[in-house]
Amino acid sequence: MAARPITLARAQHIARSHPCVRCGEYSFKKVTVKRASDAHKKELNVSWHAVRVCGICHTRQELGLDAEGDIVYEG
Ligand SMILES: [Zn+2]
């Protein structure tokens, strides 16, 4: 049975509450969450695609979240 996919607000919250992949801080100056493309959905099983820019080390990083809010990829 498939779980109901998490909402955009929930995805944004998860993207903000996961530490920076480089410096481990939680201070992001920009977090953008979008619905994953159909191709990504199919290939990677992700529902949400987040792009974050760290406020401390300025690293731009991407996160993929699945329908349950688990992180599928990051970097
Ligand atoms: Zn950082």
- Is 2 a member of any domain? no
Residue ranges making up the domain that contains 68: 8-74
Distance CA 22, CA 58 (A): 9
- Structural domain contains residue 3: no
Greater pLDDT, 39 or 5: 39
> Tokens 């199919």 — which residue?
42
Is 13 a domain residue? yes
| CB contact at 8 A, 46 and 73 | yes
- Considering only CA atoms, which of 61, 71, 67, 60 is closest in space to residue 14? 71
Count of helix runs (H) and strand runs (E) in the chain: 2, 4
Distance from the alpha carbon of residue 23 to the mean position of ligand 1, in angstroms: 4
Cα(9)–Cα(15) distance, integer angstroms: 10
Task: Label residue 3 by pLDDT band (50, 70, 90).
Answer: low
Does 57 reside within a domain?
A: yes
pLDDT digits over 10-68, tens only?
999 999 999 999 999 999 999 999 999 999 999 999 999 999 999 999 999 999 999 99
Using the mean position of ligand 1's atoms as its centre, give its distance from the Cα of residue 1 in Å: 37
pTM: 0.89
Domain count, the chain: 1
Q: What per-residue confidence (pLDDT) applies to 5? A: 85
Say whether pLDDT at 1 is over 70: no
Q: What is the CATH number of the domain that holds 49?
A: 2.20.25
